[in-house]
Amino acid sequence: MPSDVVGFEKAYCEYRLNRMENALKTIEATSEKSCKLQELYGQVLYRLENYKECLDVYQDLLRNSQDDYDEERRTNLSAAHASLALWIVFFQEELGIPENTYELCYNAACTLIGQGKMKEGLEKLKNILCRQSLTEDPDVAEEELQDELSVIHVQMAYVLQQQGFNDEAMQLYSQVVKGRPSDVGPLAVAANNIVTLNKDQNIFDSKKKIKLTCSEGVENKLSKRQQRAVNLNRALLAMHTHQVGCFGWVSALVTLYNHQEDINAAVGVLNEATWWYQKHEYLYFQPGSAVYLRLMKESANYKIRHNRENEAVADLEQLWKQNPEDMKTLAQLISAYSQLDAQKAKKLSKYLPETDCISLKVDVDQLENSYGVTHMRKRNVKPTENQLQPQAELGKKKKQKKKKKGKLPKSFDPSNGPDPERWLPMKERSYYRGKRKTKKKEQIGKGTQGSTTGGAAELDASKGVSSPPASPQPGSGGASNVVPPRQQKPSTAGTKKKAKKKKGGKGGW
């Protein structure tokens, strides 16, 4: 397999995996660059935002290629030209490419916008007949058509916003967001620009819109300049909503290092945090803000707890300079200097207020007449012998509980000991004889339906019978002595058992 084919396949896989740096190295390492590899080279350069080199690659391809893909190359060439004008410099060179497709017309409009010609760019965007040109092709789906329209609408809204027509721009942005195109690029741009129009108003709507800029794959659709603008707007929105989420990291790191008994690392985190806030305080907070002062105070307290007074002195001095009336900070500073420099501590102690100023004015008579403490705790005093004697007498008077004898079974014979086999199951005991087999008195329920054992002798044909009974003559009042089976009763039914009377219970019938 030729080296250019292997190089193209490898570079294309890296391009599809968004590994642009690796794809660029693979292409540059390939000695023979075919036309197909040059096309991929231009795409990689465009994604890496090397628009000038990308422009040269596509111009070379248009000069040296002879196939049916010149229209796609012109489109990519115009896209690189427009990006160069938008993001890098005001590129004034004209390409001279006919604008016979809506892509070429859109790229030309973006070039005008990048050159600062907002009115001309807006007019060109309005003249793009995207819907008419796309609907002529039956292979284009409605979803793809909406994606193309959303790109044009976002660009038009941006131009209107730059010209000061914020209401019209907001209407177009909202239309794109409600349509939810499948392409996350224009959706993220529209949501970000809505946040910029809202500014510090309508914060709830801005918080909902800013989430659309965090969708999966957005970083591959936006340029570095666009990503930087989106991240800045996220930070500004978090500042307006007081949701700066980095305060907890300092305390979390200090706590972790403290558990590991790495005091040097914990102090280093505190020093780095105080230095950062001191350097960037003008960006995020007012001078002497509560956040900065709180951080300095916690840093000083942590250093004092771990016997680092020489490092805590600098933090305490800055705190005292911010608020000279804070006597607690001054007292901590004097206490720290007393272990380092006694002369400095004595000099600072002059700033402490005199005892006459801090003495409390107490009315002694009122204090004595007050109710005082309603409950006093008893002191743990050892009891005397006189106190122990009554307690001993009380202990004697208490009746001792009698131990109850265990209950014996009724069949227990005191002369004979308990059965040694009582712990074994009944079937395993030596005197077990098994259950008695009881014969059934009568076999009830056998035979044909309705028959009984009482008539078996009469139905036995083996026994000799002299002559069958004569049937009654018609008109005689006699009847047969044989009772039909359904009217027979069993022979044992002669003795009736007396039914026991039930006691009437509650709710009984």
Residuewise pLDDT in 10s, the chain (509 residues) = 667 788 889 999 999 999 999 999 999 988 888 888 899 999 999 999 898 899 899 989 988 888 888 888 989 999 988 888 887 765 566 777 878 888 888 888 888 888 888 988 888 888 875 555 555 566 667 777 778 888 889 999 999 999 999 999 999 999 999 988 888 889 999 999 999 998 878 888 888 888 888 888 888 888 888 888 898 888 888 877 766 555 577 888 888 888 888 989 998 988 888 887 777 655 555 556 677 788 888 888 888 888 888 888 888 888 888 888 888 888 888 888 888 888 888 888 888 777 666 555 667 777 777 766 555 666 665 666 666 566 556 555 666 777 787 787 787 788 887 888 889 999 999 989 887 766 555 555 555 665 555 555 555 555 554 444 444 444 444 443 333 444 444 444 444 444 444 444 444 43
Helix, coil or strand: residue 18: coil
Q: What is the pLDDT of residue 46?
A: 92
Q: How far apart are CA 159 and CA 119, in angstroms?
A: 8
Side-chain half-sphere exposure of 174, counting CA atoms within 13 A: 10
Domain 247-352: give its CATH code.
1.25.40.10
Tell me which DSSP letter residue 245 carries: T
Dmax (CA) for the chain in angstroms is: 155
Angle at 187 between CA 186 and CA 192, to 5 degrees: 95
Half-sphere exposure of 353 (CA within 13 A, CB side): 10
Residue 417 to residues 141, 407, 410, 421, 422: CA-CA distances in angstroms?
A: 101, 16, 14, 11, 11
Residue type, 211: K
438-460 burial: b if 16+ Cβ within 10 Å, else e: eeeeeeeeeeeeeeeeeeeeeee
The residue extents of the domains of the chain are 1-48, 68-240, 247-352
Could you give the CA distance from residue 8 to residue 32 in angstroms, rounded to a whole number? 10
Contacts for 149 with CB less than 8 Å, ≥ 6 apart? 130, 131
Cα 128 to its chain centre, rounded Å, is 45
pLDDT in the model for residue 387: 60
In angstroms, rounded to a whole number, what is the distance separating the alpha carbons of residues 118 and 161? 10
Answer for the pair 192, 233: CB distance below 8 angstroms, yes or no.
yes
pLDDT of residue 385: 64
CA distances from 313 to 83, 170, 277, 310, 324 (A): 55, 55, 19, 6, 15
In whole angstroms, give the CA distance from residue 135 to residue 436.
100
The one-letter amino acid at 43: Q
| Lookup result for tokens 């809506």 | 102
Query: What is the b/e burial string over 158-189, where b = at least 16 CB atoms within 10 angstroms of the residue's CB?
Result: bbbbeeeeeeebbebbeebbeeebebbbbbbb
Measured distance CA(14)–CA(36) in Å, rounded: 15
Assigned token pair, 460: 């036995």
Question: Per the structure block, which two tokens stand in for 333?
Answer: 């500073």
Compute the radius of gyration of the chain from its Cα atoms: 52
pLDDT of residue 295: 82
Residue type, 241: T
How far is Cα of residue 334 from the mean position of the Cα atoms in its chain? Answer: 49
Residues 472 and 489: their CA atoms lie apart, in Å, by 25
Phi, psi of 358 (to 5 degrees): -100, 0
DSSP per position, 274-332: HHHHHHSHHHHS-TT-HHHHHHHHHHHHHHHHTT-HHHHHHHHHHHHHH-TT-HHHHHH
The pLDDT assigned to 477 comes to 43
Q: How many angstroms separate the CA atoms of 470 and 485, rounded?
A: 20
Considering only the top CATH level, what class is 68-240? mainly alpha
Portion of the chain with pLDDT greater than 70, in percent: 71
Per-residue pLDDT reduced to its tens digit, 125-134 = 888 755 555 5
CA 125/CA 105 separation, integer angstroms: 8
**CB distance 185 to 217 below 8 Å:** no
156 within 8 A of 126, measured Cβ to Cβ: yes
